[in-house]
Structure 1
Amino acid sequence: MEFFLLLPAAAVMWKLYQLTRAPHDAPLRAVVLCLLSAGLSYPLAMNRFATAVDTVAGYGAAKLIQNVLLLLMVYFLMCFYLYSADGQVGRRRARREAVVVVLVAVAITVAAETVPHPALAGSFITADMTITQVAFFYGGAGLYLMYALGMAAYWTRKYARMSRRPHATGLWMAAIGLGAMAVGCAIRAAIVAIRWSGGNVPRPLMSGVASLVLLSILLFLAGVTYSGARARIASARLWLRHRRDHRRLSPLWELLAQAYPENVLRPASASAGDRWRARGVHRRYHRRIVECRDSLVDISPYLACAGDGNAVLELAPAELAARLRHTVAEIGHGDPAPRQAVPLAMALGDDRRSDVQQLIAVSDALRTAT
Structure 2
Amino acid sequence: MLLPNIAMWAASAIAAIWKISQLVRLPQDKDLRVVTACAVLVFTALSAQLTVGATREQLGQLPKLLQNVILIFFFALLILLLQSVVHPLTVRSRGLFEVVFALLANVGLVVIVTTTAPGARGYSYENVDASRPGVAAFYLVGNAYMVYATLRGGQLAWVAGGQTESRARLSLRVAAAGLLTCCLGTHLPRTITTSGWLLLGRTLLPGTPVWTTPLLAIGIGIFFMGVGYPGARTAIIKARLWLETRHRYRQLRPLWQALCERFPSIALFPCEKPIREAFHLRHMRLRYYRRVIECRDGLVCLSPYVTEPINSTIPTERQASLFYDALQRSANGVPVSSVSTIAAPQTAGMEADTQELLSLSRAIDRHRPHQYRPDLTNVGQPDRDLR
Query: For this structure pair, what is the TM-score category when the shorter chain's length is used for normalisation?
Result: 0.7 to 0.9
The answer to whether 1:36 aligns with 2:37 is: no
Alpha-carbon spacing, 1:121–1:237, altered in 2? closer, same or farther (3 Å): same
Contact 1:252–1:292, Cα closer than 8 Å, also in 2: yes
The offset of 1:322, in angstroms, is 3.9
Alpha-carbon spacing, 1:297–1:57, altered in 2? closer, same or farther (3 Å): same
Per-residue CA distance 1:17-62 (angstroms, 9 max, x = gap): 111222232321121121112223334445xx3222323312x223
Contact 2:311–2:344, Cα closer than 8 Å, also in 1: no
What residue is the counterpart of 1:52 in the other structure?
54
Bigger Cα displacement from structure 2, 196-205 vs 352-361: 352-361
Distance 1:356 1:85 in 2: 52
What residue is the counterpart of 2:62 in the other structure?
61
The answer to whether 1:102 aligns with 2:103 is: yes
Contact 1:167–1:227, Cα closer than 8 Å, also in 2: yes
The answer to whether 1:344 aligns with 2:343 is: yes
What residue is the counterpart of 1:123 in the other structure?
124
Alpha-carbon spacing, 1:203–1:246, altered in 2? closer, same or farther (3 Å): same
What residue is the counterpart of 2:380 in the other structure?
none
Per-residue CA distance 1:225-274 (angstroms, 9 max, x = gap): 1220221132133223323432332221122234445544589xxxxxxx
Contact 1:177–1:219, Cα closer than 8 Å, also in 2: yes
Per-residue CA distance 1:129-161 (angstroms, 9 max, x = gap): 454433332122222222222121112112333
Per the normalisation by structure 1, the TM-score is 0.82
Could you tell me which runs of 5 or more consecutive residues in structure 1 were left unpaired when the two chains were aligned.
Answer: 268-274
Contact 1:256–1:292, Cα closer than 8 Å, also in 2: yes
Which of the residues 182, 193, 196 maps onto 2:195? 193
Contact 2:173–2:226, Cα closer than 8 Å, also in 1: yes
The offset of 1:216, in angstroms, is 0.7
1:220-235 to 2 correspondence within 5 Å? 220-235=223-238
3-state DSSP of counterpart to 1:313: coil
Contact 2:86–2:156, Cα closer than 8 Å, also in 1: no
Q: What is the total number of aligned residue pairs between the two structures?
A: 355
Per the normalisation by structure 2, the TM-score is 0.79
1:111-150 to 2 correspondence within 5 Å? 111-129=112-130, 131-150=132-151
The offset of 1:356, in angstroms, is 5.8
Distance 2:31 2:17 in 1: 17
What residue is the counterpart of 2:15 in the other structure?
11
Distance 2:21 2:99 in 1: 26
> Counterpart of 1:200 in structure 2: which amino acid?
T
What residue is the counterpart of 1:283 in the other structure?
286
1:305-320 to 2 correspondence within 5 Å? 305=308, 309-310=310-311, 313-316=314-317, 319-320=318-319
What residue is the counterpart of 1:256 in the other structure?
259
Distance 2:7 2:145 in 1: 29
What residue is the counterpart of 1:208 in the other structure?
211
3-state DSSP of counterpart to 1:305: coil
Alpha-carbon spacing, 1:216–1:348, altered in 2? closer, same or farther (3 Å): same
Identity of aligned residues (%): 26
The offset of 1:288, in angstroms, is 0.9
Contact 1:53–1:61, Cα closer than 8 Å, also in 2: no
Could you tell me which runs of 5 or more consecutive residues in structure 2 were left unpaired when the two chains were aligned.
Answer: 271-278, 374-387
Distance 2:328 2:124 in 1: 81
Alpha-carbon spacing, 1:326–1:367, altered in 2? closer, same or farther (3 Å): closer
What residue is the counterpart of 2:172 in the other structure?
171
Alpha-carbon spacing, 1:13–1:255, altered in 2? closer, same or farther (3 Å): same
1:55-94 to 2 correspondence within 5 Å? 55-58=57-60, 60-84=61-85, 90=91, 93-94=94-95
Alpha-carbon spacing, 1:7–1:200, altered in 2? closer, same or farther (3 Å): closer
Per-residue CA distance 1:62-82 (angstroms, 9 max, x = gap): 321221222122122113224
Per-residue CA distance 1:160-202 (angstroms, 9 max, x = gap): 3344574333322211101111223222211111221212245
